[in-house]
Amino acid sequence: MKRFLPAPSLTPSTLWLFLKINLLISALLYLLFMSLSQNYTLPTFLFTLGASLSSIALLYLLLALILLPFLYVKQSSLYLAFVFVVVLDVLILADFFIFRLYKMHINPMVLNIILSPAAQESVHIGIIPTLSIGIAVTAFVAMEIWLLRYIRHITPHDAKQRNRRSRNLLILPLVLIVVSEKITFGVASLQHNTAILQKARVIPLYLPLTFNRLAKRHFGYVPPPELPTLAQDSSLQYPLNPLKYTSVPVLPHIFIFGSDATRADMLTQEIMPHLHDFAKTSLHFTRHYSGGNTTRFGLFSLFYGLNATYWFAFLNEHKGSLLFDALLHQGYALNITNSTDLRWPEFRQTAFVNIQNSIIDAFQGVPWEKDRQSTDAFKAWLDQQDGSQPLFSFVFFDAPHGPYSYPKKEAHFLPDNNGVINYMTVSKNDAPMLLNMYKNANRYVDGLFQELFDALKAKGIYEKAIIIVTSDHGEEFFENGNFGHNSSFSDAQTNSFLIVKIPGMPPQRIDKLSSHVDIVPFLMKRIGVSNPCSDYANGVDLLEGDRKSLSISNWNNYAIKTKDYVAVFSKKPSALLTPEIRRNRDYSLADNVSLDTFHPYILQSLQESSAFFK
């Protein structure tokens, strides 16, 4: 076999020795990030130390695998390694200063600010940081040049001997560190040990490993019901100042009713006649957007008033929404009725973590049957209330989410393929049939919404209540090339309808931009919270805001929407440096629009997304 393979022109031992020396240098830079976290205990210190070394070790393993084929092309692998490690160390150092400034690691929006001359005029980095970066880059390059010259003069035999000695001193300990810290994070996730989980946030490119699904599926392990968050160990500063309250003569009843994936253009007399009529008697926000194009990010923005970029930090720390803290403080009776299990998405671990006993989410059957049961559950809860407390309830239906569930008798829009979708073969040709199914599901929940309104009227509190009806995101049927949601930031996927009925306020159609993050500030003011909304939210009061832009995000992308355009920043390596600007009306590329016009909104979004980190 050997005679068929060319002999490498550079011995692997020389390359591996070069990488091992640089691994130690990069590891020292990684350890700098530990200074950006506070209040270490011995376990959290050891975990953060191990996680830092583990992350850089895995990066260098990837680098070694990339360089391996180049061993057969003269000495290019060594020179490529030189370039890679210089770039890597400079990026690590840059990320350190960015994290100190914005409390977030390098991401597409940060890169845009760094690389755009127009944006740099707004940032004003200053001469001292610029000189410091220049000196650091020069020092790294000079050090690597010296190291490269030193390595090239080591004989292959000596390189092999030094590699053999380092194997036990470096490689084996690193393997043990990687395994132990991954197990530590996984166990901490199972036990909801937020002191451990939140420390990982400070480490660049950290890859978490969790066992939650495995433990539940194969071992029947259910996490403990108590989900404590140690405030002194938190990486969050939420709120910025303690909540303060003013006297409210009469606290309003508050009801938030929603349906999954219902987009704004479903509110027609033909499809959703009850909500269509309800909108005529209320405030109807026609340019309202969710904070995400999927459920967890959309509802997070609704209940926290925060951009959905905070989701992962709040999930790791099991930090609940301040809205419910304020409601409890003001004596509200709470009810959360959700047609699906709130362990997924993880709202029992986030927004509702402190009000577990108020949740009703154990329903059986297909989605429309669960919606039927949740409607009845809400009405039963409402009947039990004796009028001694102000009421808050959130009821959320699931039928409009794919695969679009409804009873056969509700098949008003045909053809609908008997309500069956073959996701393996679905295509644009199926769009009319899919849209009919979607309309049927929305028409079905429209009747349930009316039942909720009727229950409030029967209780005698309809006219006295603030009633908010909305959705978590939209749904697309190939209008812009996609099907479903979580695939783009088109209006079809993000333009959630919003109707707000406020006692004593006349109906109005409102066409200005609004966001899910504006709902919490609106509610907090109505229940007596006197803090400025910037103390606890990224949003503004629905009735007072005049937005020029808003932020939306999901797993892999950030987006900033304005009245006419949306700028999309991808976290994927292949598109990290190529943000897109698209038109809202048809989601087509707007190549004639400069990203420079978005820079004020990008800076605002970055500031919002770091405001509640320590």
pLDDT of residue 450: 98
**E strand map for 382-422:** 391-397
pLDDT digits (tens, 9 = 90+) for 10-53: 568 888 888 999 999 999 999 999 998 888 899 999 999 999 99
Tell whether omega for the bond before 208 is within 30 degrees of 0, i.e. cis. Answer: no
Secondary structure (3-state) at 515: strand
Q: Which residues of the chain have pLDDT under 70?
A: 1-11, 72-75, 109, 112-130, 216, 218, 220-233, 573-577
Q: What fold does the segment set 253-545 form as a domain?
A: Alkaline Phosphatase, subunit A (3.40.720)
pLDDT of residue 68: 82
CA distance 208 to 186: 8
Copy the structure tokens of residue 519. Answer: 């709902």
Strand order of the sheet with strand 498-501?
359-360, 333-338, 391-397, 253-259, 465-471, 498-501, 283-289, 508-515
Would residue 558 be called left, alpha or beta, if left means φ above 0 and alpha means ψ between -120 and 50 degrees? Answer: beta
Copy the structure tokens of residue 66. Answer: 């990339």
Distance (Å) of CA 341 to CA 338, 361, 398, 403, 441: 7, 5, 11, 17, 20
CA distance 392 to 328: 10
pLDDT of residue 67: 86
Neighbours of 501 (CB within 10 A): 20
For the chain, give every residue range classified as CATH 3.40.720.10.
253-545
Secondary structure (3-state) at 561: strand
pLDDT of residue 565: 97
For 257-317, what is the HEC assignment?
A: EEECCCEHHHCCCCCCHHHHHHHHCCEEEEEEECCECCHHHHHHHHHHCCCHHHHHHHHHH
38 CB-contact burial (10 Å; exposed 0-12 / middle 13-18 / buried 19+): exposed
* CA-CA-CA-CA torsion sign (449, 454, 455, 457): positive
Nearest to 257 by CA among 167, 195, 338: 338
Beta-bridge mates of residue 558: 553, 569
CA distance 48 to 197: 10
> What letter would DSSP give residue 406?
-
